[in-house]
Amino acid sequence: MVEISSDSKSGKGPGWVHLRPKIRNLKGPLKFNWSFGDGEESAEMIPRPHYYPSGRYSVVLEVADKTGKLHTASITIDADPQGG
């Protein structure tokens, strides 16, 4: 099972968001592919904090297990300049 944990899913934007994977019951080695919703991507397990200008962004994490099976999770980041 794959989930995405973030320090903030909504709030006053623009700003930095820390994203982390929550992984359960998957056999390693694991390969990670983060899509931040703004055209940028990362293959790190825990990516650097990501900067979001004002707007709504769909973040997608794909994790491939040792058999090559893809497990996907997503969240929406709402960087509202008026506050969440």
18-71 confidence digits (pLDDT tens): 999 999 999 889 999 999 999 999 999 999 999 999 899 999 999 999 999 999
Phi/psi of residue 35, nearest 5 degrees:
-120, 115
Q: How far apart are the two ends of the chain, measured CA to CA in Å?
A: 28
Task: Report if pTM > 0.95.
Answer: no
CA dist list (Å): 43 to 11, 12, 30, 54, 64: 26, 27, 11, 24, 11
The average pLDDT across 6-25 equals 85
Rounded Cα gap, residues 64 and 44, in angstroms: 13
Q: Which of 12, 22, 13, 19 has its CA nearest to residue 36? A: 19
CATH class of 2-80: mainly beta
